[in-house]
Amino acid sequence: MILRGFALRIEDSGEDDLNLIFFSSEQGKIRILVKGARKPLSKLRGLAQFFVLSKLAVIKGKRNNHLIGGEEIKSFRNIFKSYKKIKESSFLLSVLDNFFPFLKKDHKIFVLTFKALEKINSLKEEKSEIIASAFLIKFLAFFGFKPELKRCLVCHKTLKDNFLFFDFKEGGTICLACRRKNVHRQEISKEILDILQKLLYNDFNSLAMYHFKEENLKIAREIIEKFLIWRK
């Protein structure tokens, strides 16, 4: 079979093989054995690389999927030029590696990931955090856990207070009047809510034009990450 996609994880296996966790548009996340990849002169080693969109030829063996050939389609080589870009791109791949199931085909999440990598590659490094945060909240939404950010989850009224709460268990915002005593919520300001809404609803191109306050973006990111862990 021919698979198009990118590496999520590359690890040593046995004497001189590699285990490649690959995220493909055709089969979703799949484990591929790259035989002899750690031997000198291995022709297959170059196909197991991070931040490259590649086309792989894979055959199904009795116990493993084996890589037999392939080629690079597009390299996101600018990512390697910046520590920040590497950090945020690696984070994005680790989310798929840790939270996305094997062999679940998902075109929307594949395209989302491809676009996020493309943006981190091409934009200034200062934008990497916005793109990775937007990727994360959009990933959650596509995965079936879209947070409620427009209304109160209890009374369903639109949110008007300056302070409100994000409930990790219920998955969204709760107004001041409806707040209950539970440990699963965090108070958030209107500014943080605004960032969360933009990250969820705006596309990467328009998000790249915003200048969020660094500390606010950091808080918004922490909320999304906590929400992700709650969904696991």
Q: Which residues bind Zn ion (CB under 5 A)?
A: 152, 154-155, 175, 178
Q: Which C-beta is closer to Zn ion: that of 92 or that of 175? A: 175
Report in angstroms how near the CB of residue 190 gets to Zn ion at its nearest: 15
| Angle subtended at Cα 91 by Cα 86 and Cα 93, rounded to the nearest 5 degrees | 95
Q: Which C-beta is closer to Zn ion: that of 47 or that of 196? A: 196
- The burial of 79, by beta-carbon neighbours within 10 Å (0-12 exposed, 13-18 middle, 19 or more buried), is given as buried
Report in angstroms how near the CB of residue 229 gets to Zn ion at its nearest: 25
Report in angstroms how near the CB of residue 157 gets to Zn ion at its nearest: 6
Report the amino acid identity of residue 90: S
Q: Is 90 helix (H, G, I), strand (E, B) or coil?
A: helix
Phi first, then psi: give them for residue 179, nearest 5 degrees: -60, 135
Q: Which C-beta is closer to Zn ion: that of 81 or that of 156? A: 156
Q: Which C-beta is closer to Zn ion: that of 123 or that of 152? A: 152
Distance in angstroms (rounded) separating the CA atoms of residues 96 and 93: 5
Beta strands of 36-181 (E only): which ranges? 52-60, 65-75, 163-167, 172-174
- The burial of 206, by beta-carbon neighbours within 10 Å (0-12 exposed, 13-18 middle, 19 or more buried), is given as exposed
Report the amino acid identity of residue 128: S
